[in-house]
Amino acid sequence: MHNKPSKFTYLLAAMAATTLLGCSPQPKLTTTDKGVTSTTAPAKSSISFSVANPTKQNRSEELITLAKAQLLTLATEVNLNAATLYQGEQEVASQAIDNDGDGQADALLFTSQFDAEQNKTFTLSYQTTGQVTHQYPSRAHAELSVNQGGIRGADGKLQGGEFVPVKFQQIPEDHIPGDFQFRYEGPGWESDKIAYRLYFDERNVNDIFGKRVPDIVLPEVGHIGVSYHEPAPWGMDILKVGPSLGIGGLGMLVDGKLSRVATASDMSVNIIEQGPIRAHLQIKHTDWAIAEQKFQLTSDLTLSAGSRLTHNQLTIDGSPDNLVTGIVKHQPSELITSDTSQGDWAYIATFGKQSYVGDEMGMAIFYKKSTLLEVSEDSHNHLVVMKPTQGKLDYYFAGTWAQDVDGIATKQGFVDYLEQTLAALNQPLAINL
């Protein structure tokens, strides 16, 4: 149960913020001898807040989102474009995000670990105007690289050329699977724990790169002449996808049969955030034709530092009967399901010697019971069938590998990870202002 802060707590915080703001001088305009108008150092202010772990278990590194809308109740000139976060005297790496594209940051992202029932106090220091650029080590990354200069051969594959990173790309009309149009066949995203990629073609499903190192590695993966299916110091592709949904891919059940998102008239990728704390890419499908209807589908995929969890937030027009995600079936592996008696979040997962090289790998889907229609299967997948609410649906997917940074090599270790993650989803950290 979350301890809701009292009105007195909010009053004290508001008084403290007002005092800080009242003592800060406003910037003064000055004119140089060259006639150029400039400003003195902007006014500085700060707000303190706390974050509490409501559970009786330690929490591994988790993403915390500090929304500007929350802060504006205490200080009307909060400027997250020029903000620095501290815990005591220690600066905390953070990332400002602009959700609406107006050039003003709407939230500040950071991560932290917590002991059982621990409460931590942070201080947000900011300039009331201007912008401050931080150079924090990147622990999350998203990218897409396109072949430029390649010549298409008789087999339809591009020969030569070089891969150039882009922020936005619509799918070319002549693109076919495996034609070397895109480095490692589509966009990729990673944290210091794991990396994923999306097949940017008619397959439209997700694959896993296992990482042996915490560094950002995707910019070096998939270049011409270097196979990511072979073990390398950084890691390798560890999942055989085939005709399945891979890990967390998307489809729909029509007359009891699964159809992947494969018949859209257009598909695009937009790289929105490239770290250092969170990676964010957006996939759009125009006129997805299925069940005698056409849907406009948007998928926002995010992955944060210190985490294996990709959060897939879906927006779809109309009223589809269902949307389906799942996990590819591999032998030998064991299906694991959560106790569904507690909280809204639950999971299905598999674990076993199911990686590309035959060692231990775990995969999981975390879903909301309030959206669940059924958990089922077909010949290729373990399936989670869900119903969108007012055109919205979200779920998480995650993978682990025996050789990765943390090296989860036993079923019990994997179940421990699943249960810790489930507890975090069902009892999120509480921000008290």
> Which pairs count as long-range contacts for 287-293, CB under 8 Å and 24+ apart, including other chains?
288/261, 288/263, 288/264, 289/263, 289/264, 289/265, 290/252, 290/254, 290/259, 290/263, 291/252, 291/254, 291/320, 291/321, 293/318, 293/320
Residue recorded with tokens 């421990």: 416
Question: Quick one: three-class SS letters along the chain?
Answer: CCCCCCHHHHHHHHHHHHHHHHCCCCCCEEECCCCCEEECCCCEEEEEEEEECCCCCCEEEEEEEEEHHHHCCCCCCCCHHHEEEEECCEEECCEEECCCCCCCCCEEEEEEEECCCCEEEEEEEEECCCCCCCCCCCCEEEECEEEECCEECCCCCEECCEEEECCEEECCCCCCCCCCCEHHHCCEEEECCEEEEECCCCCCCEEEEEECCCCCCHHHCCCCCCCCCCCECCEEECCCCCCCCEEEEEEEEECCEEEECCCCCEEEEEEEEECCCEEEEEEEEEEEEECCEEEEEEEEEEEECCCCCEEEEEEECCCCCCEEEEEECCCCCEEEECCCCCCCEEEEEEEECCCCCCCCEEEEEEEEHHHEEEEEECCCEEEEEECCECCEEEEEEEEEECCCCCCCCCHHHHHHHHHHHHHHHHCCCEEEC
What is the model's pLDDT at position 8?
34
What is the model's pLDDT at position 14?
36
Residue recorded with tokens 């301890």: 3
What is the model's pLDDT at position 42?
67
Q: How far is it, in rounded angstroms, from Cα 160 to Cα 148?
A: 9
What is the model's pLDDT at position 318?
81
Say how many C-beta atoms besides its own lie within 10 A of residue 28's C-beta. 8
Token digits of residue 305:
């530092």
What is the model's pLDDT at position 369?
98
Q: Would you state the torsion angle of the CA atoms of residues 394, 273, 141, 285, taken in this order, to the nearest 10 degrees?
A: 50
Instruction: Report the predicted TM-score, pTM, of the whole model to 2 decimal places.
Output: 0.89
Domains detected in the chain = 7-24+40-127 (2.60.40.1180), 140-432 (2.70.98)
Tens place of pLDDT per residue across the chain (433 aa): 444 444 333 333 333 333 333 333 333 323 233 333 334 456 789 999 999 999 999 999 999 999 999 999 989 899 999 999 999 999 999 999 999 889 899 999 999 999 999 999 999 999 999 999 999 999 999 999 999 999 999 999 999 999 999 999 999 999 999 999 999 999 999 999 999 999 999 999 999 999 999 999 999 999 988 899 999 999 999 999 999 999 999 999 999 999 999 888 999 999 999 999 999 999 999 999 998 899 999 999 999 999 999 999 999 998 899 999 999 999 999 999 999 888 999 999 999 999 999 999 999 999 999 999 999 999 999 999 999 999 999 999 999 999 999 899 999 999 999 999 999 999 999 999 9
Q: Give the N- to C-terminal CA distance of the chain in Å, as an integer.
A: 18
Nearest to 189 by CA among 270, 277, 308, 280: 280
**What φ, ψ does residue 75 adopt, rounded to 5°?**
-150, 120
Q: How far is it, in rounded angstroms, from Cα 235 to Cα 207?
A: 14
Token digits of residue 104:
């003003």
